[in-house]
Amino acid sequence: MSEEDETTPPRKAARAEVRLGDTIGFATRAVHAGLNPSLQGTRPTTVPIYTATTFLSHDAQALDGVLAGTQPGYVYGRYANPTLTSLESAMSALLGVDDANTVAFSSGMAALHAALFLCELEPGDTVLAGSELYGASHTMLATLFGQFGVRVRFANMADLASVRAALGEEPTPRAVLFETISNPLIRVADVAGISSAARAVGALTIADTTFTPPPILQPLPLGVDIVVQSATKYIGGHGDVMGGLLTVADPDRVVALRQISKLGGAILGPFEAFLIARGLRTLAIRLERQCENAATLARRLTEHPRIAAVHYPGLVSHPQHTLAETLLTRPYWGAMLALDIKDAAYDDVLRFFDALKLVLPATTLGDIFTEVSYPLMSSHREWSPAQLRRVGITPGIVRVSVGIENIEDIVADFEQALAAIEKPTVTTSQPLAAESE
């Protein structure tokens, strides 16, 4: 026996399973029997759904180490869960960071809430946010954080000069929150430029990348500090699960992030984690089809007499088209677009929605289905007319999330629904960049 064998205490085996043959009562056997089935040297091809709220350690000393954070392991479902760990590791791998740098939350808004907490905001601190921001994100800043004295300053994130000017105002913002592609007008942010400008004044950047999941965009190499994604959308991808993912560039922030997750309690459930991880496996092929369909739909609808404008980065007419060429990974221009229905009032858009037969009027995006959403009805319903005018959201703006259906069926449904409202003169076609080369 070696010296190490003599001095090292033997490791205790895992707690033994209660056997049916033991002389114990039926109720006890019913509770404890069959808890640890052996896989006989095999392993499943997918990560199981671990529904346990509590996990056992080999012994009390090991349990103490897990609770202290000095050794890996699981204790309680609110702290961590193996199914969640698998999902978090997968997303970290796709974003090019360490396995521990992603934390899963119960929704995208919960992830954003945690991201703002991670910035250690205090009364009197300022957050610089995109003027055209998802309505719920805007309301969270104004209400939940506003009531604690956090101030919000807004800037057009599609205009880097405006962002730099806003960062130079006093007091200096502690954090910058922006969407890589804005909701709903599909404006493209200069991610590297914003990150560099924020870092120059000591502000952290939070990028909502829901519209640009990998492989469309890799934000961390561009200098983003915190990446937030609504996994309800493209990551899950099938309209059957809600979740959010938060990834940090700096591993030193992981401990604080885990503490926020543990104390806030908005942890993702294991069933939801399993569904999101399953959706993640097909993300690349779904996005390829969705982006291809979106590019075709955008081109076709620019030729429609009832459409005043199509907002899509793949069109050469898009104001940030050149930026999108350098920012987004080919062949992905994204699968989101916005339509401006010519001379449409609120009721016209409602009639357009009612006329759709295939496309779904739904307050979500990123599913396998093609979906339309009306900002004035849903995401920006609480905005004042002045706020809407300031960012350019008109009564005719309809947001479109393009799915994986046959493109001719998608186009035909839009055309027949548009025929339900009056038809003005024909607009000029705007070719896609790929076709103009």
Band (pLDDT 50/70/90 cuts) for residue 14 is low
Residue 245 three-state SS: strand
Residue 240 located in a structural domain: yes
What is the sign of the dihedral through the CA atoms of 336, 410, 414 and 306? Answer: positive
Least confident of 115-124, 142-151, 225-234, 383-392: 383-392
Q: Is the pLDDT score of 426 beyond 50?
A: no
What is the distance between the alpha carbons of residues 417 and 437, in angstroms, rounded to a whole number?
Answer: 32
Are residues 307 and 368 located together in one domain of the fold?
yes
Same domain, 288 and 373: yes
| pLDDT higher than 60, residue 437 | no
Whether omega for the bond prior to residue 361 falls within 30 degrees of 0, making it cis, is no
Q: Predicted confidence band at 2 (pLDDT cuts at 50, 70, 90)?
A: very low
Cis peptide before 331 (omega within 30 of 0): yes
What pLDDT was estimated at residue 12?
A: 53
Where residue 412 sits, what CATH number does that domain have? 3.90.1150.10
CATH of residue 153's domain is 3.40.640.10
Same domain membership, residue 360 and residue 274: no
Write down which residue in 281, 305, 327 finishes a domain: 281
- CB-based burial label for 437 (10 Å; 0-12, 13-18, 19+): exposed
Q: How many CB atoms lie within 10 A of CB 363?
A: 14
Note the pLDDT of residue 329.
93
* Residue found by looking up tokens 């807004």 in the block: 154
Q: Is-contact 185 215, C-beta < 8 A?
A: no
Write down the mean pLDDT value for the chain. 91
Nearest CA to 343 out of 429, 421, 428, 430 is that of 421
Residues 122, 182, single domain; the answer is yes
Query: In terms of domains, do 300 and 430 share one?
Result: yes
Last residue of a domain, which of 248, 281, 314?
281
Confidence category of residue 29, pLDDT binned at 50, 70, 90? confident
C-alpha 288, offset from chain centre: 18
Separation between Cα atoms, residue 108 and residue 130, nearest integer Å = 17
Per-residue pLDDT at 166: 98
Asked whether the predicted pLDDT for residue 374 surpasses 90, the reply is yes
> 298-328 pLDDT, tens per residue?
999 999 999 999 999 999 999 999 999 999 9
Q: Do residue 275 and residue 291 come from a single domain? A: no
DSSP letter at 222? G
Residues 254, 158 share a domain? yes
Owning domain of residue 367: 283-436
The verdict on residue 197 lying in a domain is yes
Better-predicted residue by pLDDT, 331 or 218: 218
Cα dist from 311 to 123, 319, 374, whole Å:
38, 9, 15
Question: Which of 247, 281, 315 is where one domain is finished?
Answer: 281
Q: How confident is the model at residue 8 (pLDDT cuts 50, 70, 90)?
A: very low
Q: How many domains does the chain fold into?
A: 2
Least confident of 36-40, 145-149, 153-157, 202-206: 36-40
> Which of 271, 218, 275 has the alpha carbon at shortest distance from 247?
218
- AA letter at 70: T
pLDDT of the residue at 1:
44
pLDDT digits (tens, 9 = 90+) for 390-411: 888 999 999 999 999 999 999 9
pLDDT for 16 equals 54
Say if residues 108 and 210 touch (Cβ distance below 8 Å).
Answer: yes
Euclidean distance between CA atoms 179 and 361, whole angstroms: 23
Nearest alpha carbon to residue 114 among 233, 262, 271: 262
Residue position matching structure tokens 């929150």: 177
Which pLDDT band, with edges at 50, 70 and 90, does 379 fall under? Answer: confident
- 437 or 227: which carries more pLDDT confidence? 227
Q: What token pair was written down for 353? A: 């929605």
Kindly tell me if the per-residue pLDDT of 82 is higher than 90: yes
